Structure 1
């Protein structure tokens, strides 16, 4: 049960900086005070109200049977009954506030427009709450299964967007005009750098494994240089070229990657120290990229929700597009972590189980020197 409205809380009568929805809620409730029968026609729920006390009053107005119009004009019995119905949850609610609501209503016949504004603001707040949960879950390093938890929150956000989509009509200019915040640079730490170095070295040594790793892209890397080197390796592999550390070095030179800090000797040293299997390190990299993309998408949706100039339809359209961007990374992660198809069984023999590279214990990982920190 929410805490009761305190006598000293003046948020109803004198809010410090009221948002527009505050006045929309007052106007709607004022219309219902003037014409109680409108309460049955308003398509709203208590949770749609930003102000808790307004929601309680709306619920009370729907609970107390509306009076006859003539009777309502002659006495305030219905107002007293509404106040009595709401007061247990809001003991500090002044009786005079119902009269304040009447003064806040420009036109009772505009009640449907006020209700639409309340629904629109509730949609914005709802999307924002779910985007915050997505960002928090993707950033929580204590979760035992962070990808599963992040996908759960992403699915919930998608369900909310789908449910709200039919409530707001499309209009020209359906995409948000809000400037999209730049993608935050992925910060994976020493472990991420090691994973990326090991992938490059093992991929150079085992280029055939790279042919099945189309689920990994250069944008998944936390070090841009290593992402560019991955493009060099995959370019050689997919062209059917010869792949070893010298040919990768030459490809890196052609790509303009050799600079004062990235030397030929340093690159050869990096590619000469393989350990484990490429798909294992690649899976770790794309997993890290998936969580980072979830945070980036959540930040983008929060920017849309925080822009008061964004219409509800623009918010929903922009959010669904952002979530589709995350879904594409999840699809690649799913391909990376799905069991590999088993090779055909020999006649008369059972089908051998698929074998994938397992995790390498942290105690056997070798310390590495980075080309770019």
Structure 2
């Protein structure tokens, strides 16, 4: 009886041992991955550029007279309308110059009258042979000198009167006083810089691109209607602006780069000259293409070349799949063959997977 019980117990132990070995060969645990569902959509071809903001117009206001500054009538950064007084010169010296010019003209006109009469009288005497050629030439020279002096006096008086009208310097355009080059009491000469007035209502992003990138852009459209762009400004994170690329420099600079300008509105003057901006220029859009993220590709990207991805199959297992890619941008690649809409490709964790490995998709984007 005891022997029979021991035999039964031994059989049970053997069965339990066999069961443990079977359990030790269970499938490996699923690997957590991120995936993306291949889908059709537009594929944008874009050029990303960065540059510096500049005001559309920076007008330098220069002195037109030689005078001392009596007062500066605007502050730095002040908005002015076209015609507003910016600066006033001391009129005293200008008035004195005009007064002296008028007196000189009056005196020299009297001398001209005298020398003209002398010349006319001696002309008749010369024609009759009463005086020599030398005597006649002396009278003619005196008359011509007096005539030239009167003309010079008239020019000086006209300039002095004109200067009197220029003692108040006015803004040539509406804008903001972005620079001031002088102080009260300074003496300036004609051509000397006084202010810079900047038209801030429109501003542009100045950027430089290579000839290769220039060849991607639709230049005819840019010249005729402009190309709409999206911009961000480093000073305002998260904000987006709309601009128009409407200028491409026709010649390259010394570094063989071409200047482009993207214009945008600036009604509130939030955008200032010198700020750093970035623009995305979409120059082509291919509609209705099957696309996947670049981060799903296992191999180096080449146009219309084979590549590999890891597909999550119906059994939630990893399947290495060869595909062929076409166009691509900074984010997506076109799939020409090898996938269909709805296929899920691994985007996160693909580097450590092996064929047939169970997967658990923890993040999926459609």
Same fold (TM over 0.5): no
Higher relative contact order (CA 8 A, sep 6+): 2
- Structure of greater Rg: 2
| TM-score, scaled relative to structure 2 | 0.24
